[in-house]
Amino acid sequence: MSSNRVPDTLTFECETGNYHTFCPISCVAWLYQKIEDSFFLVIGTKTCGYFLQNALGVMIFAEPRYAMAELEEGDISAQLNDYVELKRLCVQIKKNRNPSVIVWIGTCTTEIIKMDLEGMAPRLEGEIGIPIVVARANGLDYAFTQGEDTVLAAMAHRCPDYNGASPNTTNQDQAIQGLLSFLPLKARNVYEEQSVSTHPPLVLFGSLPSNVVSQLNLELKKQSIQVSGWLPTQRYAELPSVGEGVYVCGVNPFLSRTATTLMRRKKCKLIGAPFPIGPDGTRAWIEKICSVFDIQPQGLEERELQVWDSLKDYINLVRGKSVFFMGDNLLEVSLARFLIRCGMIVYEIGIPYMDKRYQAAELALLQETCNQMGTLMPRIVEKPDNYNQVQRMRELQPDLAITGMAHANPLEARGISTKWSVEFTFAQIHGFTNARDILELVTRPLRRNLSLENLGWTALVKKDKINII
Amino acid sequence: MKLAYWMYAGPAHIGTLRVASSFRNVHAIMHAPLGDDYFNVMRSMLERERDFTPVTASIVDRHVLARGSQEKVVENITRKDKEERPDLIVLTPTCTSSILQEDLQNFVNRASSTSYSDVILADVNHYRVNELQAADRTLEQIVRYYLEKARKQNTLNQSISNIPSVNIIGMFTLGFHNQHDCRELKRLFQDLGIQVNEIIPEGGSIENLRNIPKAWLNIVPYREVGLMTASYLKKEFGMPYVAITPMGIVGTAEFIRQIEFYINKWAPILLGKTVNYESYIDQQTRFVSQAAWFSRSIDCQNLTGKKAVVFGDTTHAASMTKILAREMGIHVVCAGTYCKHDSDWFQEQVKGYCDEVLITDNHTDVGDMIARLEPSSIFGSQMERHIGKRLDIPCGVISAPVHIQNFPLGYRPFLGYEGTNQIADLVYNSFTLGMEDHLLEIFGGHDTKEVITKSLSTDLDLAWDSDSLSELSKIPGFVRGKIKRNTEKFARQNSLSKITVEVMYAAKEALNA
Ligand code: SF4
């Protein structure tokens, strides 16, 4: 278990919360793709639909497994019966798509009119014979990636109970077996025999693309650690069993509710580790898991060095450059920690919400990294105020602002290079293998600057406007 | 409750924000939860806007739910007032404020007593109006507010200008090719010796709104936004307006003639003579625009009788239908719009120019209609473009909703005489691309290709055996879809579940007979 405490020397500030981020319902965009047999029904208004339609872009034309249950005036004034209405839509979904689970996403409107989704779901579930999971991922309470957290926390309740007597079956491990299918059958058996685990079951939580899942599984396998399951899985029917005696560990910094649910409701033990983002984070993550299982990590140091070595060209580009995180997706602390380790100077880490307990190990590593690199501790600004941040950026003139799309073009026009933050959520950034992808993103504006250098038009707004927001 | 995947027109607040942020130095504050400021992303990305979008949110969160949002809203308004000194702050309600039922007007009153900026509450209800209707209302509301204010302060500028002048109403941010259209209209008016008095809301300043009555008449190029303002100005100031869209050669000529008509009401008094634009129309039509000549050329002759489907907002779909039918001899099998609130006008406009009319905001209806009619080309919005992709039918985009590629950097108006050239290109390219494809197939270019089942409906209970499939693949692409469907229809009618070569021939004979 985590013994890390929040270091006192990091400073935390809290601003007004006037910042731009995506609505948490956006999590359906990646979760419906991750959980192949699911269907996401967002119960909300045209506002929610319009956001999804525009944020999802072309995905919307590919018959996605999501839809809006659009509330009309009759639903708001309670002239229509919510239960009957939802049943009608869910029956239709069952008929057309036949999913193994329907996830209801509650929105601001269902919160305000107090629609009892949690109450209706079990009843309807019984009637139509499809599990219905309720996640209230609304803009009143959460930001962007926290949407995934609410969905996974709700799913955690649906995980089968772990029965200590029988070892967790390994059917979640298909991805790995698939990878190894080139091996002759015999060798595969040997492999499996070798991998029979001696440690308590370990379940990882956080939605990642399946190849990243296999990469992380393999990384742990090299330390003789067997991952017995992931939350979520490729298919709803294959959710891992959890319960007393099962260890869980998060792969993303925004999963604090899921962690809490697994600990409190499912009695799992949480391994509090830094997140496997960047080679430093990945190594610390693995080491932490190893230490909990009393395993001596093998060859990790070399592995990390090797990765750093392969990043040299990019690191030469970023070293000494400064970054400003405006904050919108909760990956900020881990990314900042990695970039500091790459030699960058981080002025500010804006972040929508900071769970100091769940992120304790990550914060400790951030502090350690700052000490090691001899850089100043960045300020961590929770619930930032975008207007104030832009003022600060005017003073600081960072080499790079990591920001949402609402601010990217205006900042670029004022000569501040930007990287659009949402890309970090969709790119593959976990594990040793993907460290390069993070730097690929971070250096893109810097490389663009190199190739457009000396053209003389970096600030592209009229003089009098540069200082005006 | 309604199951929905896609909407043609956005929620009401988007309309208000589009109008507010088009004016100079106007700031909109949305009363909304965190995450509803997606408008800023759209504006910044689609319009590639260099400036910060003048829209912020007064965020509704748990706290606010428990205690009411008065303090926060008032605070946010006063803060914005100090930070940026906008001329006007528009408090914008969202779906969330519609159900919270707080007295936003009261907050506005309180805030405006202490701020230097004017503050108004946009009068739009999420559950009653959509994006376009809301934009129309908000524009009228702002214009009315300032004209009434000017009247009270006696600063209203009511003396009409010496030379003919017009206001252009309804150009705004995120509008389909609006910027280009605006430039084209300005050019047209310059040619005609007409002054452009004010353009609202795009780039307009609140300060200048009191000059609106100086113009001789108002121009409303797009039906969706501006009509309310124009009819208010007509009622209050007796200003006539022209609501004909100058799209296509005939449309543009009609537009100019209407303007001539209104100008000549004042011209004898103020200019001492009447104006006559006929020779200008003739010159432009025959020699400047290439479209009239194009419709006589052999290229266009080849398009005669080709089938097309049109779908979009009322303005663009109606104009396009008329252009295709009366200027190019193309057979419009169906014309449709998603502006259900204006369907009567649309029906009347396209009557006689198409076989059927479709009024719906459900994209699956549109998809099914297209699959059923199998046109050679589609003219619609981005949604229709994707339907076209799935059915292998080329599509020219003529209306919002749009993507980033509909905000071209190059000059691409849809209105006026240059607009007619652009439209001719668009039409011609959509059809020739389709034909090239078919020719390739006829001459074996795509022979190795698998037969694609192109159907939007999901009733695929029929199995084709391998012989019939290979037979099907020998049929040229442009009729293959139809033969496939006819065969399946025949099989279904005769309760056959398996399709063989024999069934195909039987179907052919049955249907030809
Ligand atoms: S913030 Fe609320 S109303 Fe807005 S899109 Fe999200 S859930 Fe819907």
Q: Over the stretch A375-390, which tens digit does the pLDDT of each residue have? A: 989 999 999 999 999 9
**What secondary structure does DSSP assign to A413-451, as a single string?**
HBT--EEETHHHHHS--BTTTTHHHHHHHHHHHHHHHHH
The CA A69 to ligand 1 mean position distance, Å, reads: 13
Instruction: Supply the pLDDT for residue B427.
Output: 92
Q: Please count the helices (runs of H) and the strands (runs of E) in chain A.
A: 21, 14
- pLDDT digit string, tens, across residues B330-362: 999 999 999 999 999 999 999 999 999 999 999
**What secondary structure does DSSP assign to B411-472, as a single string?**
---SSHHHHHHHHHHHHHHHHHHHHHHHHHHHTTTTTTSPPP---SS-----EE-HHHHHHH
Domain limits, chain B: 12-129, 165-284, 292-443, 463-512
CB < 8 Å from A in window 387-406 of B: 389
B7: closest chain A residue by CA: A50
SS3 string, B388-427, reads HHHHCCCEEECCCCCCHHHCCCCCCCCCHHHHHHHHHHHH
CATH entry 3.60.110.10 includes domain B292-443: no
Q: How far is CA B496 from the centre of its chain?
A: 45
Own/partner contacts of B434-441, CB < 8 Å, gap of 24 or more, are B434/B376, B434/B377, B434/B393, B434/B394, B434/B478, B435/B376, B437/B392, B437/B477, B438/B476, B438/B477, B438/B478, B441/B476, B441/B477, B441/B478
Cα distance between residue A151 and residue A231, in whole Å: 11
Question: Torsions phi, psi of B28, nearest 5?
Answer: -105, 135
pLDDT band at A59 (very low <50, low <70, confident <90, very high): low
- pLDDT digit string, tens, across residues A277-290: 999 999 999 999 99
CATH entry 1.10.8.550 includes domain B463-512: yes
Q: Is B247 labelled a binding residue? A: no
SS3 B238: coil
Over 60: is that where the pLDDT of A179 sits? no
Cα distance between residue A191 and residue A206, in whole Å: 27
- The mean per-residue pLDDT over the stretch B120-124 comes to 96
- Given an 8 Å threshold on Cβ–Cβ distance, is A139 in contact with B34? yes
| Amino acid identity at B267 | A
**What secondary structure does DSSP assign to A318-364, as a single string?**
HTT-EEEE--SSS-HHHHHHHHHHTT-EEEEEEES---TTTTHHHHH
Closest-CA residue, ligand 1 atom 1, reads A139
Sorted by sequence, the CB contacts under 8 Å of residue A456 that are 6+ apart come out as none
Contact status of B7 with chain A (Cβ, < 8 Å): yes
Instruction: Supply the pLDDT for residue B442.
Output: 60
Query: What integer best gives the mean pLDDT of chain A?
Result: 88
CB < 8 Å from B in window 131-160 of A: 138-141, 143-144
- The mean per-residue pLDDT over the stretch B171-190 comes to 95
* Residue that has been written with the tokens 């109450």 in this structure: A119
Q: Report the half-sphere exposure of A429 (CA within 13 A, side-chain side).
A: 25
pLDDT band at A229 (very low <50, low <70, confident <90, very high): very high
Tokens of A220: 């742990």
Instruction: Supply the pLDDT for residue B462.
Output: 78
Ligand 1 atom closest to the CA of A137, numbered from 1: 7
pLDDT band at B488 (very low <50, low <70, confident <90, very high): confident
- The mean per-residue pLDDT over the stretch B410-428 comes to 93
The CA A451 to ligand 1 mean position distance, Å, reads: 40
Sheet holding A132-136, edge to edge: A132-136, A101-106, A38-44, A66-70, B2-4
Task: Measure CB to CB from residue B4 to each of A17, A68, A73 and give the nearest one.
Answer: A68
CATH of domain B12-129: 3.40.50.1980
Over 70: is that where the pLDDT of A462 sits? no
CB atoms within 10 A of CB B487: 24
Beta bridge partners of A67: A41
SS3 B176: coil
User: Could you tell me the CA-to-CA distances from B159 to A295, B143, B192, B237 in Å, in that order?
Assistant: 89, 18, 22, 11
Range in A173-182, B21-30, B43-52 the model is least confident about:
A173-182
Cα distance between residue B146 and residue A137, in whole Å: 41
The DSSP symbol for A77 reads T
Domain limits, chain A: 24-142, 198-293, 300-455
Residues of A in contact with B40 (CB under 8 A): 20, 406
pLDDT band at B76 (very low <50, low <70, confident <90, very high): very high
The DSSP symbol for A467 reads T
B301 membership: H or E segment, kind and range: helix B298-301
Instruction: Supply the pLDDT for residue A60.
Output: 66
CB atoms within 10 A of CB A87: 16
Residues of B in contact with A109 (CB under 8 A): 95-96, 99
Contact call for residues B7 and A51 (beta carbons, < 8 A):
no
> What percentage of chain A reaches a pLDDT higher than 90?
75
- pLDDT digit string, tens, across residues A418-452: 999 999 998 899 999 999 999 999 999 988 888 77
Task: Measure CB to CB from residue B44 to each of A19, A409, A469 and give the nearest one.
Answer: A409
Share in percent of chain A as helix, strand, coil (round to 5): 50, 15, 40
Over 80: is that where the pLDDT of A170 sits? no
B4: closest chain A residue by CA: A68
How would you label B58-95 residue by residue, b for 16+ Cβ within 10 Å and e otherwise? Answer: bbbbeebbeeebbebbbebbbbbbeebebbbbbbbbbb
Over 80: is that where the pLDDT of A206 sits? yes
Cα distance between residue A253 and residue A359, in whole Å: 7
SS3 string, B109-149, reads HHHHHHCCCEEEECCCCCCCCEHHHHHHHHHHHHHHHHHHH
- The mean per-residue pLDDT over the stretch A109-137 comes to 95
Query: What integer best gives the mean pLDDT of chain B?
Result: 89
Over 90: is that where the pLDDT of A27 sits? yes
Sign of the alpha-carbon torsion through A175, A181, A182, A183:
positive
Instruction: Supply the pLDDT for residue A426.
Output: 87
Burial of A451 by CB count in 10 Å (0-12 exposed, 13-18 middle, 19+ buried)? exposed
- pLDDT digit string, tens, across residues A310-352: 999 999 999 999 999 999 999 999 999 999 999 999 999 999 9
> What percentage of chain A reaches a pLDDT higher than 70?
87
Q: Which CATH code, of 3.40.50.300, 3.40.50.1980, 3.40.430.10, 3.20.10.10, is assigned to B165-284? A: 3.40.50.1980
- Given an 8 Å threshold on Cβ–Cβ distance, is A96 in contact with B6? no
- Given an 8 Å threshold on Cβ–Cβ distance, is A144 in contact with B96? no
- The mean per-residue pLDDT over the stretch B452-477 comes to 69
ipTM of the complex: 0.87
Closest-CA residue, ligand 1 atom 4, reads B36
Over 70: is that where the pLDDT of A467 sits? no
- The mean per-residue pLDDT over the stretch B295-306 comes to 82
Cα distance between residue A455 and residue B107, in whole Å: 50
Cα distance between residue B427 and residue B245, in whole Å: 19
* Residue that has been written with the tokens 């099907």 in this structure: B472
Instruction: Supply the pLDDT for residue A3.
Output: 44
Contact call for residues A153 and A257 (beta carbons, < 8 A):
yes
Domains B12-129 and B292-443 share a fold: yes
Cα distance between residue A211 and residue A218, in whole Å: 10
Fold of the A24-142 domain = Rossmann fold (3.40.50)
B100 membership: H or E segment, kind and range: helix B95-100
Contact call for residues B341 and B427 (beta carbons, < 8 A):
no
pLDDT band at B513 (very low <50, low <70, confident <90, very high): very low
Q: Is the peptide bond before A232 cis (omega within 30 degrees of 0)?
A: yes
Q: Which of B17, B96, B127 to mutate to test the pocket of ligand 1 (most atoms within 8 A of CB)?
A: B96
Ligand 1 atom closest to the CA of A105, numbered from 1: 7
Comparing C-alpha atoms, which of B223, B193, B224, B226 is closest to residue B212? Answer: B226
Contact call for residues A395 and A348 (beta carbons, < 8 A):
no
Instruction: Supply the pLDDT for residue A187.
Output: 39
> What percentage of chain B reaches a pLDDT higher than 70?
93
pLDDT band at A207 (very low <50, low <70, confident <90, very high): very high
Q: How far is CA B278 from the centre of its chain?
A: 29
* Residue that has been written with the tokens 């980033």 in this structure: B404
CATH of domain A300-455: 3.40.50.1980
The DSSP symbol for B257 reads H
pLDDT band at B392 (very low <50, low <70, confident <90, very high): confident
Instruction: Supply the pLDDT for residue A54.
Output: 87
- pLDDT digit string, tens, across residues B214-233: 999 999 999 999 999 999 99
As a residue count, chain B comes to: 513
Range in A161-170, A407-416, B4-13, B37-46 the model is least confident about:
A161-170
Instruction: Supply the pLDDT for residue A1.
Output: 41
CATH of domain A198-293: 3.40.50.1980
Over 90: is that where the pLDDT of B210 sits? yes
Instruction: Supply the pLDDT for residue B474.
Output: 76
Instruction: Supply the pLDDT for residue A12.
Output: 92
User: Could you tell me the CA-to-CA distances from B232 to B147, B236, B306, B322, B499 in Å, in that order?
Assistant: 11, 6, 43, 29, 63
Q: Helix A405-413 and helix A386-396: axis angle, to 10°?
A: 30
Sign of the alpha-carbon torsion through B352, B354, B358, B363:
negative
- Given an 8 Å threshold on Cβ–Cβ distance, is B52 in contact with A140? no
- pLDDT digit string, tens, across residues B81-120: 999 999 999 999 999 998 998 999 999 999 999 999 999 9
How would you label A43-63 residue by residue, b for 16+ Cβ within 10 Å and e otherwise? Answer: bbbbbbbbbbbbbbeebbbee
Contact call for residues B212 and B238 (beta carbons, < 8 A):
no
